[in-house]
Amino acid sequence: MGNYRFILSGGGTGGHIYPAIAIANELKRRYPDAEFLFVGAKDRMEMEKVPQAGYKIEGLWITGIQRKLTLKNLLFPIKLISSLMKANSIVSKFKPHAVIGTGGFASGPLLKMATVKGVPCLLQEQNSFAGITNKLLKDKVEKICVAYDGMEQFFPKDKIVKTGNPVRSDLVTLNVTKSEALDYFELDSNRKTLLVLGGSLGARRINQLVADNMAYFESLGLQVIWQCGKGYYDTYKGNQSATIKVHAFLNSMDKAYVAADFIISRAGAGAVSELCLVGKPTFFIPSPVVAEDHQTKNALSLVGHDAAVMIRESELDEKFKGEFEAVLNSAEKQATLSKNIKALALPNATADICDEIEKIIR
């Protein structure tokens, strides 16, 4: 049977959107005649990114609850009722064979109404600390695909399948040579390369760290690929030089990863999954302002396997240079970090998740 209909819902951040798109792409490869519909939150980035990937999307009028008392919170019950009604209409009209939720505001109402109608549903939880939407839905869905051990604290054990997180297909193989990657960024093959990632929007504190330490990196003989984020590019583009390459966004992540000898990164679930595949010595600087501090928990799950170094934002001034040089000056430590982070990679995540989707629709 090839004429399946799938609804995928997840958004708010790239960490929810890109896994959903990866899953849809794999299902489309298996079932070229299948129909797909995405459901997101109006005015969030999925309304732009999903159509760019070639899929239709419907928007719900839904937002999260603010952590402090605001006027937006007073509207939440109205938005929730509106979203549940629209989600009910979407499911009734589209008649999906399965619904897949990857987290985010919109997936709550959509999967709630799908489960009420008896549609088989699957959750994909990217983080080591489960999001509130997925925790609320856990008892109503058939399967929950996770990326970390120990998720029984959040979900029923008999529903959990450890698959890992979907990553971009070009990162699974990395079919580019080191020489090609360095040439692409116009870098020197005789220098070690540091790749700095703060996410597509950038990370203020990581950017400050790089800006304050450019002379320090030069003294260590390093060259830097610095993805500062589109919101910070105008501030830092003047730092561009022969050894400092400043980018708002990196469109060729495979080349950036291959060029790198060391990596500084946030610890979002998608970044962690990619970096496990890449297998380079990595320094995680988790964002301290995300829900449930889940980036710190993601990073600690690797630190516990001696697979990465984590430095909290509040400790950067005190600890960064010492932690950085301890790795830079030890070939043994570099080899250990590379070996251990690579051992945690789950390169078949997208296919394994789609295998579970096939099981629930059969």
Confidence (pTM): 0.86
pLDDT, greater one: 128 or 200: 128
Asked if pLDDT for residue 153 goes beyond 60, the answer is: yes
pLDDT digits (tens, 9 = 90+) for 58-84: 988 877 655 555 666 667 678 788 888
Asked if pLDDT for residue 344 goes beyond 90, the answer is: yes
Asked if residue 54 belongs to a known ligand binding site, the reply is no
- How much is the pLDDT for 110? 95
Asked if pLDDT for residue 154 goes beyond 60, the answer is: yes
Q: What percent of the chain has pLDDT over 90?
A: 74
Asked if residue 362 belongs to a known ligand binding site, the reply is no
- How much is the pLDDT for 204? 94
pLDDT digits (tens, 9 = 90+) for 294-330: 899 999 999 999 999 999 999 999 999 999 999 999 9
pLDDT, greater one: 93 or 173: 93
- How much is the pLDDT for 251? 84
Residue range 28-50: mean pLDDT, rounded: 92
Give the pair of three-digit tokens for residue 37: 């519909």
Q: Which of 243, 257, 185 is nearest to 214 (CA)?
A: 243
3-state secondary structure the chain: CCCCEEEEECCCCHHHHHHHHHHHHHHHHHCCCCEEEEEEECCCCHHHHHHHCCCCEEEECCCCCCCCCCHHHHHHHHHHHHHHHHHHHHHHHHCCCEEEECCCCCHHHHHHHHHHCCCCEEEEECCCCCCHHHHHHCCCCCEEEECCCCHHHCCCHHHEEECCCCCCHHHHHCCCCHHHHHHHCCCCCCCEEEEEECCCCCCHHHHHHHHHCHHHHHHCCEEEEEECCCCCHHHHHHHCCCCEEEECCCCCHHHHHHHCCEEEECCCHHHHHHHHHHCCCEEECCCCCCHHHHHHHHHHHHHCCCCCEECCHHHHHHHHHHHHHHHHCCHHHHHHHHHHHHHCCCCCHHHHHHHHHHHHHC
Regarding beta strands 121-125 and 282-284, do their DSSP bridges make them parallel or antiparallel, or are they unpaired? unpaired
Asked if residue 168 belongs to a known ligand binding site, the reply is yes
- How much is the pLDDT for 200? 67
Asked if residue 164 belongs to a known ligand binding site, the reply is no
- How much is the pLDDT for 132? 86
Q: Which of 53-67, 117-131, 205-219 has the lowest mean pLDDT?
A: 53-67
Asked if residue 14 belongs to a known ligand binding site, the reply is yes
Residue range 95-124: mean pLDDT, rounded: 94
